[in-house]
Amino acid sequence: MPRASFTDRGFSAQEPVRNPPSGGPILRGVSLKPEHPLVDGRTADSPLVRAYRGERPERTPVWFMRQAGRSLPEYRELRAGGDMLQACLTPDMASEITLQPVRRHGVDAAIFFSDIVVPVLLAGVDVRIVVGRGPVLDTPVRTASDVLKLRPLDPAALDPVRQAVAQTVEQLGSTPLIGFAGAPFTLAAYLVEGGPSKDQIRARSLMRSDPQTWATLLNWCADVTGQFLRAQVESGASAAQLFDSWVGSLSREDYRRRVFPHSKRALDHLRGLDVPKVHFGLGTDRIFPDITALGVDAVGVDWRIPLDDAAAILGEQFTVQGNIDPAMLTAPWPALKAHIDDVLERGQAARAHVVNLGHGVPPETDPDVLTRIVRYVHGERDAAE
């Protein structure tokens, strides 16, 4: 493949945790390797990394969640008839899919192509991706005995992830790669529900009816997803994003008591690795003050709250990321352009701003619209008209 050239709060759990399945001790006293892109200079001065660290680069960085996926014809051609999770664990394919939107759109970052349930699969849980539905487990994890059957993740199982990241970083050059992982609550919700759910009622029921089992399950989720994230960073990712897609179903009190400590535990797996960290969740405005205590540098904001309102809650120590409404991607260009202008203006209220969507790219999106957005955000106004 040719080389691409792209220009506290200190909350704590309320219940003791007995015999938690553990991914092993969190490593301390380590640092990024000399050949890491943040250390050897390839990505340290990129617009994305600078913005995550609180600077205002000359060009506002932009990337899209789910930018590598079904909206791209080259992705559909490559993935035709194949298994999603198998693609994630085939280094050549995962790397190629990660690179596709960078080549096509000229975005300021790649995000590693994988799925949040990959570490769960690698830890021995029988999970599969059903087209049109998402991750599905034929045998959900719903009881204390189910949780105690969960096994630690063998670090060697992450070798395909490490290989794919290393290959991708080699191709990206000065464009940073973002590593990602699912937050413990969202992972646990999939495990308990057995698949996607509108309200996560079984998961929330377990959280309330058996808090001990819940805490044990979330510790396990925190460790496997933390290891997954760390493997990506160690292999060359220049930033790390934790996705908590379903956290909006929780009250603030439940988040603080039953979820926050475990999200913190997942991110603690990155201790010693000096990379920017980002949190994104849907419907998180009421827990913004708690998210700031996770130790992140940037907070992803969905389309429901204006960026200046989010910045006022988060404070001046945090970069905001977002928050173009995905529903606007099918609007006429004048309306979409006005919306982007509003997002850019409101993003000025934060210390720095990374443009993104308020959620992921819908599969039916015209790829040319995404390219046009990138060029417009980058200041190529004539080319984007």
Does the annotation place 245 within a ligand binding site?
yes
Q: What is the pLDDT of residue 2?
A: 35
115, 223, 244, 302: which one is catalytic?
115
* Residue 204 is among the residues annotated as catalytic for this protein: no
9 is in an annotated binding site: no
Q: For 37-49, what is each residue's pLDDT tens digit? A: 999 999 999 999 9
pLDDT bracket for residue 30 (50, 70, 90): low
| Lowest mean pLDDT segment, chosen from 1-10, 118-127, 192-201, 278-287 | 1-10
**Is 304 marked as binding a ligand?**
no
Amino acid at 119: P
Question: 132 pLDDT band (50/70/90 cuts)?
Answer: confident
Lowest mean pLDDT across 192-196, 274-278, 351-355, 356-360: 192-196
3-state secondary structure at position 186 = helix
When pLDDT is cut at 50, 70 and 90, the band that residue 343 belongs to is very high
Question: Between 356 and 83, whose confidence is greater?
Answer: 356
Query: Which pLDDT band, with edges at 50, 70 and 90, does 383 fall under?
Result: low
Report, as an integer, the average pLDDT of 218-238: 98
Q: Is 351 a catalytic residue?
A: no
Cut 0.85: pTM above it: yes
- 31 is annotated as contributing to ligand binding: no
Least trusted range by pLDDT, from 3-7, 23-27, 93-97: 3-7
Q: 239: which 2 tokens? A: 């930033």
CATH number for the region 37-384 comes to: 3.20.20.210
Among 42, 52, 108, 190, the active-site one is: 190
Would you tell me how many other CB atoms lie within 10 Å of the CB of residue 143?
13
Phi, psi of 279 (to 5 degrees): -115, 135
Q: Is the pLDDT of residue 9 over 90?
A: no
Does the annotation count 70 as an active-site position?
yes
Stated length of the chain:
385
| Residue 70 labelled as part of a binding site | yes
Determine whether 208 is an active site residue. no
Instruction: Report the distance separating Cα 280 and Cα 162, nearest Å.
Output: 23
What pLDDT is recorded for position 384? Answer: 59
**% of residues, the chain, pLDDT over 70:** 91
Report the distance separating Cα 196 and Cα 131, nearest Å. 12
Q: How high is the mean pLDDT of the chain? A: 91
The band of 131, judged by pLDDT with boundaries at 50, 70 and 90, is confident
Tell me which of 42, 50, 52, 66 is the catalytic residue: 66
Phi, psi of 172 (to 5 degrees): -75, -25
Question: What are the backbone angles phi and psi of residue 356, rounded to the nearest 5°?
Answer: -160, 180
317-331 per-position pLDDT tens digit? 999 999 999 999 999
CA-based nearest residue to 64, from 323, 282, 344: 323
- Residue-level pLDDT at 24: 45
pLDDT band at 82 (very low <50, low <70, confident <90, very high): confident
Residue with tokens 């204006």: 306
56 has binding-site annotation = no
Q: What is the pLDDT of residues 360-378, one digit of tens each?
A: 999 999 999 999 999 999 9
The tens digit of pLDDT for each residue in 259-295 reads 999 999 999 999 999 999 999 999 999 999 999 999 9
Q: What is the DSSP string of 297-313?
A: SEEE--TTS-HHHHHHH
* 115 in catalytic set: yes
Neighbours of 215 (CB within 10 A): 22
- Which pLDDT value is given to residue 246? 92
> How high is the pLDDT of residue 19?
36
CB-side exposure of 281: number of CA atoms within 13 Å? 27
